[in-house]
Amino acid sequence: MKKSDAEILIKPAKKLDCFLADSEALIKEAQALRYRVFATEMGAKLKTEAEGLDYDEVDSYCDHLIVYDNVNNKIVGYTRLLNESQAKRLGRFYSQDEFNLDQILALPGRFLEIGRTCIDPDYRGGAVLTTLWSALVQYAMEGGFNYLLGCASITPGPSGFAVDAVYRNIDAKNIAPASIQAKPTIPVPGALRCKRDESGIPPLLKAYLRFGALVCSEPYWDKDFNCMDLFVLLPLDQLKDRYSKHYMRDYQATNEIKTASA
């Protein structure tokens, strides 16, 4: 049966889209997702708990990268981006609240910090994270950044990950040399550094490591977020060709990340 002209012209919308949010409504929806993941799911103690949102003074300086489900009309993935120009206006990178980054920031090149990365619990398993990484890598490449930096969280306890077990599973090539180590301002209490193996490596940290990221620290204890943070540095020239092509294939045609309308 021959398709009508109308049928040929109408193309189904992509289920997932990834773009920079620049409307207050979209940013608040992303902050609500952050709240559900970090406060409701992880048990974080947030100063904004009464509002059902996760936000802080850093948000207004950042770009907010969201994954949007066009079928169910909601945000299902998120990360915030703070480049060195934005960090200069803020007065610091967010990670500097947790780590001494003097050795890191002395490296030549441009830095882009990623943080508050989260995925809707109903959408975990690959597609959303892949879509988010596609846009993130493109943003970094087009912006001429040399390094991605940020914290990868490890949730302790019976349903989480044992930090020492995580370290044992990290390949030696992903451990940074002493010359670029970041010292945590609050080390993890010994009682939380259990020796048992639990669940391997958390998915987000595993994604960083696949790209060639370096773990540059002992863990920081974030009591408000009930997690241990590892400082991670990803030199962008270390991205392997196959990963770059894989994560950017959906963006080759447009060669840009589209920005949402206000």
Helices 127-142 and 203-211 meet at what angle, rounded to 10?
Answer: 40
* DSSP per position, 79-98: EEEEEHHHHHHHTS-GGGGT
One digit per residue, pLDDT tens: the chain, 262 residues? 343 444 434 444 589 999 999 899 999 999 999 999 999 988 889 989 889 999 999 999 999 999 999 999 999 999 999 999 999 999 999 999 999 999 999 999 999 999 999 999 999 878 998 899 889 988 998 899 999 999 988 876 544 556 777 777 888 999 999 999 999 999 888 766 665 555 577 777 888 888 889 999 988 999 888 888 999 999 988 664 545 555 555 444 434 444 443 3
d(CA 171, CA 228): 19
In angstroms, rounded to a whole number, what is the distance separating the alpha carbons of residues 116 and 228?
14
**Tokens linked to 142:** 């087009």
Can you tell me the distance from the alpha carbon of 105 to that of 230, in angstroms, rounded to the nearest whole number? 17
Going 119 to 235 to 222 to 169, the CA torsion angle's sign is positive
Q: Which of 17, 21, 259, 246 is nearest to 137 (CA)?
A: 246
Helix (H, G, I), strand (E, B) or coil at 64: strand
